[in-house]
Amino acid sequence: ETGVTQTPRHLVMGMTNKKSLKCEQHLGHNAMYWYKQSAKKPLELMFVYNFKEQTENNSVPSRFSPECPNSSHLFLHLHTLQPEDSALYLCASSQGLGGTDTQYFGPGTRLTVL
Amino acid sequence: QKEVEQNSGPLSVPEGAIASLNCTYSDRGSQSFFWYRQYSGKSPELIMFIYSNGDKEDGRFTAQLNKASQYVSLLIRDSQPSDSATYLCAVNNQAGTALIFGKGTTLSVSS
């Protein structure tokens, strides 16, 4: 285990539902990330938080709303998603901000949008 | 758009052989380079990182970096069936705020 946990591990939701993904890191890291991994595509960075402050929003649609209440917890609130949003959503953390420090990944949430 | 390119494979090698995985990147300002391994249905896990030109060895793994050619590679010696996975190359963006990942190369080691 990497010290990064994610819940739920699997989620099926309709397009009108509202749900949230949760990530928690037990590593004492300061930076946290949300990535989307779709089949045949590279990992896509969605959001970056450093010391609870959002430092990067990679042109993500507003139906994805992140929340970082403290350096250990990160949420991704989902509403009115589309079927093409079905993917593996990965959370990661690193000691410092993304470019030079190793990122440790959680197990991911497999999301299916019907 | 800064990019990281990898041959998607699959790369097939027999057990005991050397597997060579390659990656090119477009951002000349990149300074940090990472190799992650991802088993099917699992999340990526770090294998190695390299910052300086040349080779870096860790057990059966060797990372090679050539910044002039914008090229980074991973060699796996004495390949084992348990090495069968997708290998992701990641490069930091010039601002140093995030990693850019390639699509990954799928390696299959046959016994």
**pLDDT tens digit string along B4-38?**
999 888 999 999 999 999 999 998 888 899 999 99
Question: Terminus-to-terminus CA distance in chain B, angstroms?
Answer: 40
Residues 44-83 of B with CB under 8 A from A: 44-46, 49, 51
Residue of B nearest to A48 (CA): B98
pLDDT tens for each residue of B40-96: 989 999 999 999 999 999 999 999 999 999 999 999 999 999 999 999 999 988 777
> Which residues, in sequence order, are CB contacts of A10 under 8 Å at separation 6+?
A109, A110, A112
C-alpha count within 13 angstroms, C-beta hemisphere, residue A97: 16
Residue A69: is the preceding peptide bond cis (ω within 30°)? Answer: no
Band of pLDDT at residue B1, cut at 50, 70 and 90:
low
- Ranges of chain A whose pLDDT falls below 50: none
Helix (H) or strand (E) holding A22: strand A18-25
User: DSSP of B70-95, one letter per residue?
Assistant: TEEEEEESS--GGG-EEEEEEEE-TT
Residue of A nearest to B87 (CA): A42
- Residues from chain A that touch B43, judged by Cβ atoms under 8 A, are 2, 90, 105-108
pLDDT value, residue A58: 80
One-letter amino acid identity for B23? C
Q: How far apart are CA A103 and CA A35, in angstroms?
A: 12
CB B85 within 8 A of CB B107: yes
φ, ψ at A83 (rounded to 5°): -55, -30
Chains A–B, number of C-beta pairs less than 8 Å apart: 61
